[in-house]
Amino acid sequence: MTVTFDSFGLSPDLMVGVADLRFSSATPIQAAAIPVAMAGRDIIGCASTGTGKTAAFLLPTLNRLSTGPRNVIRALILSPTRELALQIDEQAMALAYHMGLSVASVVGGLDMSPQEDAFKAGAEIVVATPGRLLDHMRYPYVDLSHVEVLILDEADRMLDMGFIPDVRRIVRAIPTERQTLLFSATMAPAVRKLTEELLKDPVEISVNPQKPAAGIAHRVFSVSHARKGALLTTLMGKVKMNSVVVFVRRKSEADKLARQIERAGFPATSIHSGRDQGQRIAALEAFRKGEVGVLVATDVAARGLDVDGITHVVNYDVPHSSDDYIHRGGRTARAGARGEVFTFVAPDEEEQMERIERAVQTELPRVKLPGFDRGLDGPQGRSSDRRPPPRGDRGDRGSFRGR
CATH number at residue 245: 3.40.50.300
Residues 18 and 137 in one domain: yes
> If residue 296 lies in a helix (H) or strand (E), which one and from where to where?
strand 294-297
In a domain, 402, yes or no: no
Radius of gyration of the chain (CA): 22
Say how far apart CA 328 and CA 342 lie, in whole Å: 11
Give the pLDDT of residue 181: 98
Q: Please check whether residue 212 is in contact with residue 259, taking contact to mean a CB–CB distance below 8 angstroms.
A: no
pLDDT at 150: 98
Where do the H-state alpha helices sit in 39-81? Answer: 53-65
Kindly state whether residues 90 and 197 are assigned to the same domain: yes
pLDDT at 121 over 50: yes
Domain hosting 178: range is 5-207
CA distance 47 to 307: 18
Please, which residues have CB within 8 angstroms of residue 172's CB and are 6 or more apart in sequence?
Answer: none
Q: What is the structure's pLDDT at 368?
A: 83
Q: What is the dihedral of CA 128, 53, 362, 188, to 10 degrees?
A: 50
Q: Of 173, 207, 241, which marks where a domain is finished?
A: 207
Whether residues 84 and 149 fall in one domain:
yes
Task: Examine residue 340 and state whether it is found in any structural domain, yes or no.
Answer: yes
Same domain? For 264 and 298 the reply is: yes
Arithmetic mean of pLDDT, 167-190: 92
Q: Do 220 and 202 have their domain in common?
A: no
Shared domain for 179 and 243, answered yes or no, is no
Question: In terms of DSSP bridges, do strands 179-184 and 312-315 run parallel, antiparallel, or are they unpaired?
Answer: unpaired
Q: How far is CA 338 from the centre of its chain?
A: 17
Q: Is residue 403 part of a domain?
A: no
Domain match, 166 and 313 both: no
pLDDT of residue 359: 74
On whether residue 276 sits in a domain, the answer given is yes
Count up the domains in the chain and report the number.
2
Verify that 270 and 348 share a domain, yes or no.
yes
Which pLDDT score, from 0 to 100, does residue 49 have?
63
Instruction: Kindly report, residue by residue over 362-400, the tens digit of the pLDDT.
Output: 889 999 888 886 544 443 333 334 333 333 333 333 334
Same structural domain, 154 and 224? no
Q: How many CB atoms lie within 10 A of CB 325?
A: 28
pLDDT tens digit sequence for 253-298: 999 999 999 999 999 999 987 887 788 888 988 998 999 999 999 8
- 243 and 131 in a common domain: no
Please indicate, yes or no, whether residues 247 and 132 belong to a single structural domain of this protein: no
158: exposed, middle or buried (C-beta count within 10 Å: 0-12, 13-18, 19+)? buried
133-149 tens-digit pLDDT: 999 999 999 999 999 99
